[in-house]
Amino acid sequence: MARSTLITEIFLRTTQVRIDISDENAAVTLMSTDMERIDIGFRSLHEVWASVVQAALASWLLYKQLGIVFVAPIGIVIASFTVLVIFMKFAGDSQRAWMTGVQKRVGLTATVIGSMKNLKLSGLSQAVESFIQNLRVEELASGARFRKLVIIAAFLGFLPFLLGPPLTFAFAQRSLDVSKTFTSLSYLTLLTTPLTQVFQTVPQVLSGLACLSRVQGYLECDTREDFRKLLSKTLQYPEKTGGGAQAQSKQPEPPSVIEIQDAKFGWEAGKYVLRDVSTHIMRSALTIVVGPVGSGKSTFCKALLGEIPFCEGDVTLSNSVPHVGVCEQTAFLSNGTLRDNIVDFSGYDAQRYAEVIEATALSLDLDTLPQGDMTNIGSDGITLSGGQKQRVSLARALYLHTDLLVLDDIFSGLDAETEEKVFSRVFASDGILRRRQTTVVLCTHSVTHLPSADHIIALGDGTVVEQGNFEKLMKHQGYVQRLRSWEPSARKSPVDKLSSKSATQKPRISTLHKSTSRASSLTSENQAARQNGEATVYKHYLKAMGWVLAMLAVFFAALWGFFTNFPTICEF
């Protein structure tokens, strides 16, 4: 119950934390490694008080048998516990340092796995492998300090068990017969065995507390505060005819979905990426935001979504926009089938699904996948190309059927031909978004599609350098006109002049259900191998450990098992 509650809280906090301080690697480590330590530590928490009660009862029984000499094992326990307390002062810091190393290594490993193609193409795989290996060595070094404390705790825990009986009988002042001797020995075992467990449990409990403090620190992170204000249609457009509620229900919607007045946006306090921004996003229109690399286009997108941590000025959002769709520069894809990544949590509609597949030009790509749209695309869509990832992300946003769509450089991974196909089918005059009358904000560094925009916002030097429709800006002889003059003439033709045959042709649903038995068999074989493990994995760990240490570990484990169970064998 505690585990599920903490994981739920970590997940909720991850969705609420400010974007500038959020760390997905921290959340992953907290949900896995830290939660495991908390589970192990607090699972045996009740054994502590139960063992203390058992030891107290055993001490009383031992006192009835031997008298005051029962304090001999108690003295050993007190001395051992004092030493344990001294060493356990370092347990919390050692555990936190260890978990920090794990978090750093796991985060980098996840990033490397997601960028494996680029690393191989750039020839950096060996260098990155060495770097990750060094992080693993540092992690083991940090963990070694905590493991040494665990060894000390185990050693101190066995001292009462080993030294208690001989010291007790040595200080006994009365003669002991066989019956009393074995009875006292049983009571000594009842006294020392639970205390040994307590000594070994203390490091685990302290480790759980240290990990719990890490979870608490993450849950106390600042949450996102939406600085946007809702634009009340009643307040902005008051009725002049005095028709009451009936007149208010007939009032027109405001022409702008978002209004920005004298705003500043930044990621750090006092350091603004965009300044003096005053603009608006027109309803049911295509707004294209252009500008050079680093001009603040992504910051502008985050500002529209209310994700910027530092803002001054007014950003007003119409209350007639209940749903907002977003496509980031880096597509977010889960480890599942291509269809699941598009449909997501919405209900499956075959007609709408086929429509967005055709609009994003994914129908041809599905023919090349082994199981069509039921192909598992892997973690972060690793089996797809960059352009395919962007189009799957766009297809998900289109399938959701939102009122406002914010797109951040979604054409970056597409070739020229595919880009124009997607633009003509999605954004052009007969595109899917025009038919739905969706408000669209498209941030891009490309100026090819500017003639199709209803409104253009040009960013530069940390502010809005100019804005308006295409004809107005071309006459202005400003930033947009200069950008168009640099664009190759081959790509200056508006996409609206393209043939709309591909946009109006009937979507092919048959390709969406393609499947092959070979792909299914490969998947089942991989799952079976993962469940059973491979001998090479165990050989790798044994080689890293060293054959001498491995054989010694097996030898001492066998000795421990033999001597622990030998007394029970002798009883028969």
* 8 A C-beta contact, residue 403 and residue 323: yes
Tokens representing residue 257 in the block: 């979905």
- Give the model's pLDDT for residue 208: 84
- Cα(217)–Cα(324) distance, rounded to whole angstroms? 31
Q: What is the DSSP letter of 332?
A: P
Q: What is the DSSP string of 426-469?
A: HTSTTSHHHHHT-EEEEE-S--TTGGG-SEEEEEETTEEEEEE-
- Give the model's pLDDT for residue 441: 93
Task: Collapse the DSSP code of 282 into the 3-class scheme (helix H, G, I; strand E, B; otherwise coil) and give the result.
Answer: strand
Read off the pLDDT of each residue in 218-241 and give the average, rounded to a whole number: 66
Read off the pLDDT of each residue in 125-138 and give the average, rounded to a whole number: 87
Burial class (CB in 10 A: 0-12, 13-18, 19+), 369: buried
- Give the model's pLDDT for residue 358: 92
- Give the model's pLDDT for residue 528: 53
Domain borders along the chain are 2-219, 323-449+494-514, 529-570
Range with top average pLDDT, 79-93, 227-241, 556-570: 79-93
Strand order from edge to edge, sheet including 404-408: 324-327, 404-408, 439-443, 286-290, 455-460, 463-468
Tokens representing residue 44 in the block: 């045996």
Residue 173: which pLDDT band, with cuts at 50, 70 and 90? low
Read off the pLDDT of each residue in 130-145 and give the average, rounded to a whole number: 87
- Give the model's pLDDT for residue 241: 42
Residue 505: which pLDDT band, with cuts at 50, 70 and 90? very low
- Give the model's pLDDT for residue 220: 85
Tens digit of each residue's pLDDT (9 = 90 or more) over 85-113? 888 888 888 888 888 888 888 888 877 87
Range with top average pLDDT, 20-24, 101-105, 404-408: 404-408
- Cα(21)–Cα(44) distance, rounded to whole angstroms? 35
- Give the model's pLDDT for residue 487: 52
Domain 2-219 has CATH 3.40.50.1100: no
Closest residue by Cα to residue 459 from 289, 285, 259? 289
- Cα(122)–Cα(144) distance, rounded to whole angstroms? 35
Closest residue by Cα to residue 42 from 276, 246, 216, 204? 204
**Would you state the torsion angle of the CA atoms of residues 207, 209, 215, 218, taken in this order, to the nearest 10 degrees?**
-100
Tens digit of each residue's pLDDT (9 = 90 or more) over 508-553? 444 444 443 444 444 555 555 555 556 787 787 778 788 888 888 8
> What single-letter amino acid sits at 354?
A
- Give the model's pLDDT for residue 526: 53
Task: Give pTM, 2 decimals.
Answer: 0.67
CATH of domain 323-449+494-514: 3.40.50.300
- Give the model's pLDDT for residue 22: 63
Q: What is the per-residue burial (b if ≥16 Cβ within 10 Å, else e) of 55-76? A: beebbebbeebbeebbbbbbeb
Q: What is the DSSP letter of 533?
A: -
- Give the model's pLDDT for residue 386: 83
Residue 6: which pLDDT band, with cuts at 50, 70 and 90? confident
Phi-psi region of 431 (alpha: psi -120 to 50; beta: other; left: phi over 0): beta
- Give the model's pLDDT for residue 501: 43
Tokens 């530092």 map to which residue? 310
Q: What is the DSSP letter of 334?
A: -
Residue 394 CB contacts under 8 Å (≥ 6 apart), including other chains: 327, 360, 407, 410, 422, 426
pLDDT of 499 > 80? The answer is: no
Residue 286: which pLDDT band, with cuts at 50, 70 and 90? very high
pLDDT of 563 > 50? The answer is: yes
- Give the model's pLDDT for residue 406: 92
pLDDT of 249 > 70? The answer is: no
Mean pLDDT of the chain: 79
pLDDT of 288 > 70? The answer is: yes
pLDDT of 159 > 70? The answer is: yes
Burial class (CB in 10 A: 0-12, 13-18, 19+), 104: middle
Q: Pick the more confident residue, 133 or 110.
A: 133
Sign of the Cα torsion 200, 205, 211, 214 reads: negative
Residue 174: which pLDDT band, with cuts at 50, 70 and 90? low
Closest residue by Cα to residue 11 from 1, 22, 21? 22
- Give the model's pLDDT for residue 520: 45
Helix or strand holding residue 311 (H, E): strand 310-318
Read off the pLDDT of each residue in 73-95 and give the average, rounded to a whole number: 85
Least confident of 144-148, 350-354, 411-415: 411-415
- Give the model's pLDDT for residue 425: 92
Q: Pick the more confident residue, 232 or 127.
A: 127
Closest residue by Cα to residue 413 from 422, 400, 425, 402? 422
- Give the model's pLDDT for residue 515: 41
What percentage of the chain exceeds 70 in pLDDT? 84
